[in-house]
């Protein structure tokens, strides 16, 4: 049986301490949810009152200790010790060393390791899903579904590990072969956001691994326990700025806000590095009213701000508009013109996902065509939430242009070489050029 090098994938939990009511005095920490009987299942995931937030073959962490909270009741769950700069340097060094071993493992054997990761997630899918619900705030079925996405992409990656590769192209020169060779980029940095604390890492990690890369994961500080728990059960596992500027990170996959993503892109581009950006979305469709609590106080403030902005622009609050247990924002526009509706969809800066509900066959194909939706995900008669792992996931414009998960997204985790092999006794040049 093949075993993954212990330094193959590494993880940090790092971020700044939350301000305001999210900080609690030390005496309050005695009521950590992890110590309450109804949350005893957290310890079955390998979690403790204080958890080490760095894994690079062994667990550690010499940075600041943060506390994570349940957004439903604002109660503290547990604490996580984050990475220091020294932890980061040590981890990157170990990851680069691990890559020298991992890159030599045949792709189908790498797929076997990813299959084992999927099986490990299956064993704890209900408890991991419950943790996503508890720490991030999703309803339970969505929390479990997010872990299922990681399981599914592992299955997908196993098959892909026997299929990746380039074509053999016809050469214009006799006795020559023209081929495309695909090789891993090396070290892939993965920075994920709080809203999908498991699935986005899985999309990147599973595909990057079968392509022959090692991964460096930085999860969101407000979902640090999820990052730690996933790492413990996958057995694969500083700051955003450090990863973006580090030339040793060959590809940086960033999921987060457009504002931060723009800064990340500039820092990576400055060193001529590669970035894969999955940024803010603004989906055009009626919202699903099955919601969990908003994740942070900042999110609540943004909700109230959006309501006030809608009022200023002439909108009417039909129902709600105040801070409640559930508070989705549904914005409704009425129009009789297909052209106008399509224009509304496309006039925003984001371009992640969109959907139209219609039985008009002509309208369907106009919606999918060059004058239709300009989003990366264009649906018909289904909601914009959720996506199958077999297709590429990502958006256009300020959403970043990156693609993760299925289709040919694997190419972003590899570098392509066009190779010409001369097996003749002559040295002909391309385009028939002859030096006389």
Q: What is the pLDDT of residues 188-233, one digit of tens each?
A: 999 999 999 999 999 999 999 999 999 999 999 999 999 999 998 7
What DSSP designation does 311 have?
H
User: What is the Cα–Cα distance from 155 to 247, expressed in whole angstroms?
Assistant: 32
How confident is the model at residue 132, as a pLDDT? Answer: 97
Q: Higher-confidence residue: 35 or 434?
A: 35
User: What is the Cα–Cα distance from 377 to 386, expressed in whole angstroms?
Assistant: 11
| 282 band by pLDDT with thresholds 50, 70 and 90 | low
SS (H, E, C) 86-143: HHHHHHHHHHHHHHHHHCCCCHHHHHHHHHHHHHHHHHCHHHHHHHHHHHCCCCHHHH
| 318 band by pLDDT with thresholds 50, 70 and 90 | confident
Q: What is the mean pLDDT of residues 75-98?
A: 95
How confident is the model at residue 186, as a pLDDT? Answer: 97
SS3 of residue 237 by DSSP: coil
Handedness of CA 82, 232, 223, 391 (dihedral sign): positive
Q: What are the counts of helices (DSSP H) followed by strands (DSSP E) for the chain?
A: 12, 19
SS3 of residue 419 by DSSP: strand
> What angle is formed at CA 304 by the lines to CA 303 and CA 309, rounded to 5 degrees?
100
Q: What is the mean pLDDT of residues 228-247?
A: 81
Contact 408, 209 (CB under 8 A): no
How confident is the model at residue 24, as a pLDDT? Answer: 47
Of the listed ranges 49-63, 124-138, 159-173, 234-248, the one predicted with least confidence? 234-248
| 13 band by pLDDT with thresholds 50, 70 and 90 | low
**pLDDT greater than 80 at residue 19:** no
Q: What is the mean pLDDT of residues 266-286?
A: 83
| Residues 335-362 pLDDT 10s | 889 999 999 999 999 999 999 999 999 9
How confident is the model at residue 385, as a pLDDT? Answer: 81
Contact 181, 416 (CB under 8 A): yes
pTM: 0.84
**pLDDT greater than 70 at residue 1:** no
**pLDDT greater than 50 at residue 22:** no
Measured in whole angstroms, the distance separating CA 280 from the mean position of its chain's CA atoms is: 12
Contact 251, 412 (CB under 8 A): yes
Q: Higher-confidence residue: 327 or 424?
A: 424
Of the listed ranges 203-212, 246-255, 380-389, the one predicted with least confidence? 380-389
| 20 band by pLDDT with thresholds 50, 70 and 90 | very low
Residues 6+ apart with CB under 8 A from 200: 190, 192, 193, 255, 278, 404
**pLDDT greater than 80 at residue 66:** yes
Q: Which residue has tokens 């999955």?
A: 278
**pLDDT greater than 50 at residue 6:** no
How confident is the model at residue 30, as a pLDDT? Answer: 57
**pLDDT greater than 90 at residue 332:** no
**pLDDT greater than 70 at residue 287:** no
User: What is the Cα–Cα distance from 77 to 94, expressed in whole angstroms?
Assistant: 31
> Checking DSSP bridges between strand 54-55 and strand 59-60, what pairing results, if any?
antiparallel
How confident is the model at residue 193, as a pLDDT? Answer: 93
Q: Is 24 exposed, middle or buried (0-12, 13-18, 19+ CB in 10 A)?
A: middle
How confident is the model at residue 95, as a pLDDT? Answer: 94
**pLDDT greater than 90 at residue 177:** yes
Q: What is the mean pLDDT of residues 284-308?
A: 70
Q: What is the mean pLDDT of residues 395-405?
A: 92
State percent of the chain over pLDDT 90: 72
184 vs 54, 180, 251, 333, 373, CA distance in Å? 25, 13, 10, 47, 34
Q: What is the mean pLDDT of residues 60-89?
A: 95
Q: Which two tokens stand for residue 325?
A: 């247990």
191 vs 183, 218, 275, CA distance in Å? 23, 5, 11
**pLDDT greater than 60 at residue 76:** yes
Contact 241, 267 (CB under 8 A): yes
User: What is the Cα–Cα distance from 345 to 367, expressed in whole angstroms?
Assistant: 10
How confident is the model at residue 305, as a pLDDT? Answer: 83
| 391 band by pLDDT with thresholds 50, 70 and 90 | very high
């Amino acid at each position: 049986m093949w075993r993954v090098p212990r330094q193959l994938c590494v993880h940090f939990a790092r971020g700044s301490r939350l301000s305001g009511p999210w900080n609690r005095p030390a005496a309050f920490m005695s009521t950590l949810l992890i110590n309450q009987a109804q949350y005893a299942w957290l310890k079955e995931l390998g979690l403790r009152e204080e958890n080490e937030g760095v894994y690079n073959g062994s667990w550690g962490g010499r940075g600041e200790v943060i506390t994570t909270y349940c957004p439903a009741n604002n109660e503290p769950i547990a604490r996580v010790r984050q990475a220091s700069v020294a932890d980061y340097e040590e981890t990157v060094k170990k990851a680069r060393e691990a890559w020298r071993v991992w890159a030599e493992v045949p792709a189908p054997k790498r797929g076997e390791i990813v299959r084992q990761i999927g099986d490990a997630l299956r064993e704890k899918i209900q408890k991991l899903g419950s943790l996503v619900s508890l720490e991030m705030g999703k309803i339970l079925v969505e929390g479990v579904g997010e872990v299922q996405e990681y399981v599914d992409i592992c299955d997908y990656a196993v098959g892909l590990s026997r299929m990746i590769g380039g074509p053999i192209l016809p050469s214009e020169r006799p006795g020559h072969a023209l081929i495309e060779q695909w090789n891993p980029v090396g070290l892939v940095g993965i920075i994920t956001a709080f809203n999908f604390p498991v699935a986005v890492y899985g999309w990147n990690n599973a595909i990057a691994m079968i392509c022959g890369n090692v991964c460096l994961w930085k999860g969101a500080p407000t979902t640090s326990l999820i990052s730690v728990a996933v790492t413990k059960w996958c057995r694969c596992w500083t700051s955003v700025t450090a990863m973006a500027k580090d030339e040793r990170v060959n590809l940086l996959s960033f999921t987060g806000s457009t504002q931060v993503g723009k800064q990340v892109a500039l820092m990576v581009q400055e060193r001529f590095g590669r970035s894969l950006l999955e940024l803010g979305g603004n989906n055009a469709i009626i919202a699903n009213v099955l919601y969990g609590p908003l994740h942070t106080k900042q999110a609540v403030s943004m909700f109230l701000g959006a309501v006030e902005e809608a009022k200023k622009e002439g909108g009417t609050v039909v129902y709600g508009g105040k801070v409640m247990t559930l508070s989705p924002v549904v914005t409704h526009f009425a129009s009789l013109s297909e052209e106008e509706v399509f224009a509304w969809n496309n006039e925003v800066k984001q371009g992640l996902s969109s959907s139209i509900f219609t039985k008009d066959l002509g309208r369907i194909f106009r919606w999918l065509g060059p004058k239709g939706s300009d989003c990366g995900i264009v649906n018909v008669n289904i909601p914009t939430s959720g996506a199958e792992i077999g297709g590429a996931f990502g958006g256009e414009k300020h959403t970043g242009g990156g693609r993760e998960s299925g289709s040919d997204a694997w190419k972003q985790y590899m570098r392509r070489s066009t190779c010409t092999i001369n097996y003749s006794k002559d040295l002909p040049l391309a385009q028939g050029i002859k030096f006389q």
